Amino acid sequence: MEQNKLKSGFVAILGRPNVGKSSIMNRFVGQKVAIVSSKAQTTRSKALGVCHRDGCQIVFVDTPGIHKPRTKLGEYMVKAANDARDGVDAILVVVDAGFIGKGDLSIIESVKNEKCPKFLVVNKTDTVKPEELMPRLASIDVSAFDQVVSVSALRGNNMEKLFELIKEALPYGPEYFPEDMITDQPERVMIAEIIREKALRSLRDEIPHGIGVEMMSIEKISDTLTEINATIYCEKPSHKSVIIGKQGRMLGEIGSKAREDIEKLLETKVMLKLWVKVREDWRNRKDDLRTLGYEDE
Ligand SMILES: Nc1nc2c(ncn2[C@@H]2O[C@H](COP(=O)(O)OP(=O)(O)OP(=O)(O)O)[C@@H](O)[C@H]2O)c(=O)[nH]1
Ligand SMILES: [Mg+2]
């Protein structure tokens, strides 16, 4: 009897901060499993996004943007991104069509000797004219890549083409995850991330980088209602006042946007209580990093 053959494998998504790695993963999974914001260094830990389709299962490995770390948190993030390439079946290096710089070139150099199939994904093509793109790509040694594909994760342009090329490059293999599983992130991590996303989107300047969310409790009050308590950490008393806002307006905005998304995730009504605390320099403190889930396994 002929066996059902499944194309399957792990695909790491690497690149500088803010180039659209998480957006690409979300597109392929078909649901939002990783948070996205216009602030660099949004993703802080490795996260899986599983794409189930007829005849294939592709497990995308989203990673933090590779940058020069200035804090222990930054070191953790860059290590997570570098470790994520171990044992994968393919690597996507994502660059931003609008700007290709030294950071991109050193990531490209670092994957050169990886044996698996490698794709250069030029994202955000919706932001540039084709004639501007070609000279920019000239700075890249594309010989390191099996394929170069231009896409727009935002608009969806050329994403199917990229998907087919990745699928083609993957081996036949097992079904790694059951069909109803689209991420390895536990519910409490997803909830903390949703809250962090709304804070990142609402806040400006240096505040977003110093935000951390700790889940205090998630309690199912009934089949239709969940109560959630979470603490938003920041680094300075002045940041705390901005996060709370005049008459609590900013915190209210963050809370109500987060609640909407959490209600969709949990499929219950949600009572969300947010607290704000100052923890100076938490991004350099080991115990704080552990509390917030940023530690090596
Ligand atoms: N115009 C345009 N914007 C995009 C595209 N893809 C992503 N973005 C935007 O770029 C910003 C960063 O996207 P993310 O997916 O968070 O980028 P990332 O590479 O995961 O960023 P980090 O997690 O910080 O490393 C967000 O504002 C996205 O909406 C695209 O194809 N076109
Ligand atoms: Mg990201």
- Please list, residue by residue across 32-48, b when 16 or more beta carbons sit within 10 angstroms of its beta carbon and e when fewer do: bbbbbbebebbbbbbbb
In this predicted structure, what is the pLDDT of residue 2? 45
Stretch 233-257: mean pLDDT, rounded? Answer: 97
How far is residue 76's CA from residue 187's CA, in Å, rounded to a whole number? 22
DSSP classification of residue 63:
-
Stretch 62-82: mean pLDDT, rounded? Answer: 98
103 and 234 within one domain:
no
Q: How far is the centre of ligand 1, averaged over its atoms, from the C-alpha of 138 (Å)?
A: 23
Whether the per-residue pLDDT at 86 is higher than 70: the answer is yes
Q: Is residue 106 part of a domain?
A: yes
| Ligand 1 contact, 153 CB (< 6 A) | yes
How far is residue 177's CA from residue 50's CA, in Å, rounded to a whole number? 8
Q: How far is the centre of ligand 1, averaged over its atoms, from the C-alpha of 226 (Å)?
A: 31
Task: Report the phi/psi class of residue 135: left, alpha or beta, with left for phi > 0 and alpha for psi in -120 to 50.
Answer: alpha
Stretch 211-239: mean pLDDT, rounded? Answer: 98
CA contacts within 13 A on the Cβ side of 170: 30
How far is residue 15's CA from residue 93's CA, in Å, rounded to a whole number? 5
| Ligand 1 contact, 43 CB (< 6 A) | yes
In this predicted structure, what is the pLDDT of residue 3? 57
Tens of pLDDT, residue by residue over 157-166, are 999 999 999 9
Whether the per-residue pLDDT at 221 is higher than 60: the answer is yes
Rg for the chain, CA atoms, rounded: 20
What's this model's pTM, rounded to 2 decimal places?
Answer: 0.97
Which atom of ligand 1 lies at the shortest distance from residue 155's CA?
31
Q: Which of 29, 33, 36 to mutate to test the pocket of ligand 1 (most atoms within 8 A of CB)?
A: 36
Q: Please, what sign has the CA dihedral across residues 220, 221, 226, 232?
A: negative
How far is residue 5's CA from residue 55's CA, in Å, rounded to a whole number? 7
195 and 271 within one domain:
yes
Tens of pLDDT, residue by residue over 266-296, are 999 999 999 999 999 999 999 999 999 998 7
158 and 198 within one domain:
no
Q: Is residue 2 part of a domain?
A: no
88 and 207 within one domain:
no
Whether the per-residue pLDDT at 49 is higher than 60: the answer is yes
CB 71 within 8 A of CB 41: no
| Ligand 1 contact, 21 CB (< 6 A) | yes
Q: Is residue 181 part of a domain?
A: no
Structure tokens at 133: 């793109």
Shortest-distance Cα residue to atom 24 of ligand 1: 41
Compute the mean pLDDT over every residue in the chain, rounded to the nearest whole number: 96
CATH number for the domain harbouring residue 112: 3.40.50.300
- As to burial, measured by CB atoms within 10 angstroms (0-12 exposed, 13-18 middle, 19+ buried), residue 254 is buried
Whether the per-residue pLDDT at 222 is higher than 70: the answer is yes
Domain extent, residue 155, equals 7-169
Q: Do β-strands 147-150 and 118-123 pair in parallel, antiparallel, or remain unpaired? A: parallel
Given pLDDT bands bounded at 50, 70 and 90, which one contains residue 1? Answer: very low
Q: Is residue 1 part of a domain?
A: no
Q: Is residue 177 part of a domain?
A: no
Stretch 231-248: mean pLDDT, rounded? Answer: 97
153 and 200 within one domain:
no
Q: How far is the centre of ligand 1, averaged over its atoms, from the C-alpha of 65 (Å)?
A: 11
Q: How far is the centre of ligand 2, averaged over its atoms, from the C-alpha of 201 (Å)?
A: 13
| Ligand 1 contact, 124 CB (< 6 A) | yes
Q: How far is the centre of ligand 1, averaged over its atoms, from the C-alpha of 149 (Å)?
A: 17
Q: Is residue 182 part of a domain?
A: no
Structure tokens at 176: 């790694």
Q: Into how many domains does the chain fold?
A: 2
CA contacts within 13 A on the Cβ side of 130: 2
| Ligand 1 contact, 202 CB (< 6 A) | no
CATH number for the domain harbouring residue 235: 3.30.300.20
Range with lowest mean pLDDT among 29-43, 83-97, 131-145: 131-145
In this predicted structure, what is the pLDDT of residue 295? 85
CB 176 within 8 A of CB 100: no
| Ligand 1 contact, 97 CB (< 6 A) | no
